[in-house]
Structure 1
Amino acid sequence: MTYLTLSIAFLAVAAVVLALALATRDDRSDLVARWRLPVLAAGVALMVLTALFDNVMIATGLMVYEPGHLAGILIGSAPLEDFAYPLAGLLLLPALWSLLGRRSRASLRSDE
C-alpha cells in the first residue's frame, strides 16, 4: 500500500462524514456560510504549519519515507501525502461537531 492510497482512504472517510453531516442539516446553506471563513483560515494555518514542521522533521531525520511508496510530489522535503491528514481533519472535525452537537442539544431539550 502506498502513502497516497492511505491518504485517499482518510480523505474519503472524512468526505463521507462531511456529506452525511451536511445532508442531515436543514440549515446547511446557513451553516456553510457561517463556517466558510473559519474553516478556510484554519485550513491555511494547518497547511502552512504542516509544510513548516514536516520539512523540519524530515530534515532532522525524525521521519523517513520509503521513496517507492511516495507519489513523488514534494513541497520542500515533505511529500504531498502528508497534507492529506490535516485536510481530512479539517473536513472531519466540523462535520462531527455538526453531527454530535445537534444530538447533545436535542438531549438537553428532552431533559427539560
Structure 2
Amino acid sequence: MTYAPLSLVFLLVAGVVLAVALAVAPDRRRLLRRWWLPVTIAAAIVLVLTAVFDNLMIIAGFMTYADAHITGAKLGLVPVEDFAYPLAAVLLLPALWLLTRRQPGRRRGTGS
C-alpha cells in the first residue's frame, strides 16, 4: 500500500466535514465571502512551512520514505503525499469551528 490512498482518505474526510459544516451553516454565503482569502493564505503558509521543515527533517535523517510506498513525485525530498495532511488540517479546522460555534440567538444547554 502506498501513502497516496491514505492521503486521499484524509483529504476526503476533511472535505466532507467542511461540506457538511457549510451545508448546515445558515450564513454560509457570508462565511465563504469572508473566509476564502484567509483560508487560502493559511493553506499557502502551511504548505510552504511543510515543504521547508519536511525537507530539513529528511536531510537530518529524522524521516525516511520507502520508494515502494510513495508515488515518486517529490518537492525537494518531500513526497507530494506529505502535503495532504496539512491541507486536510486547513480544511478541517474551519469546519470544526463552524460545527461547534454558538449560533446567534441560541443559549447553550436550553435545547432551543
Amino acid at match of 1:102: R
Aligned identity (percent) is 52
TM-score (normalised: structure 1): 0.91
What CA RMSD, in Å, does the superposition of the two structures yield over aligned residues?
Answer: 2.0
Shift of the alpha carbon at 1:2? 1.2
Q: Can you list the C-alpha shifts for 1:18-55, whole angstroms capped at 9, x where unaligned?
A: 01001101211110111111111111110110000000
Query: What do the CA deviations read for 1:64-88 (whole angstroms, capped 9, x no partner)?
Result: 0111010111000000011000000
Alignment match, 2:67: 67
Match of 1:101? 101
- The two structures have a TM-score, normalised by structure 2, of 0.91
In the other structure, the counterpart of 1:12 is: 12
- 2:18–2:92 CA contact under 8 A, matched in 1: yes
Distance 1:35 1:10 in 2: 21
Q: How far apart, in 2, do the equivalents of 1:49 and 1:106 lie?
A: 39
| Cα 1:76/1:101, change in 2 over 3 Å | same
Q: CA deviation at 1:105?
A: 7.5
Between structures 1 and 2, the one with greater helix share: 1
Go from structure 1 to structure 2 and tell me whether the alpha carbon gap of 1:105 and 1:46 turns closer, same or farther (over 3 Å shift): farther
- Distance of 2:44 and 2:38 partners within structure 1: 10
Deviates more, 1:26-35 or 1:100-109: 100-109
Question: Could you tell me which residue of structure 1 aligns to residue 88 of structure 2?
Answer: 88
4+ residue runs of structure 1 moved beyond 6 angstroms?
A: none
Offset at 1:8? 0.5
Unmatched tracts of structure 1, length 5 or more: none
Compared CA separation, residues 103 and 59, structure 1 to 2 (3 A)? same
